[in-house]
Homo-oligomer: A and B are copies of this chain.
């Protein structure tokens, strides 16, 4: 911990004083912790869809910080009847896990005064397409996911970095959303 001091407010690019303020504010008023995130998709042709991710609700109010929606393209590879215009839906889940782990790791490292100089994740997910195609023999979704992180730090021991990895797993929003059941309500409007 020789490279950090108490007067430093930003670590790993995380605004540490703002992080502490956020935790204190939510501790005082838990309603500040609530978010409703959104994504839309518009079907184009075949397996190709265009997605938009824009505003979200935070503590009951719309967040307007984004100048425009993020645009994502989703498609399947030819072996799954698509044209590779974008990654497929299952791959997006894996990408989400990678991003979630990385944000959790660098933010919690910052809170502990651990400097991160390299942080990569490789995620693999095993999937069987039979249920999607109406065939018996496998669950519809991912059967198993393997995540490998690679981290470098000049001021933490391997044991500290491994302990942080376990903590990040326990508090990761995406890991929890995949590892434990999420209630999903689906409705259809015929227009």
Contact = CB atoms under 8 A, between A and B. Distances in A.
Q: How many copies does the complex hold?
A: 2
Interface in A155-171: 158, 161-162, 165, 169-171
Contact of A186 (B12, B67, B137, B165): B165
Nearest to A190: B158
A115 interface: no
Interface residues of A, number: 129
A118 B191 contact: yes
Contact of A51 (B19, B38, B98): B98
Contact of A40 (B58, B65, B121): B121
Interface string A1-37: 0000000000011110011001100110010011111
Given A23-B135, A81-B14, A181-B179, A37 B125 contact: yes
Contacts of A98: 39-41, 49, 51, 74, 89
20 contacts: A33-B130, A35-B128, A39-B122, A53-B91, A72-B95, A74-B95, A74-B98, A89-B98, A90-B96, A96-B96, A127-B173, A134-B171, A140-B170, A140-B176, A147-B185, A149-B189, A151-B189, A177-B178, A178-B182, A178-B184
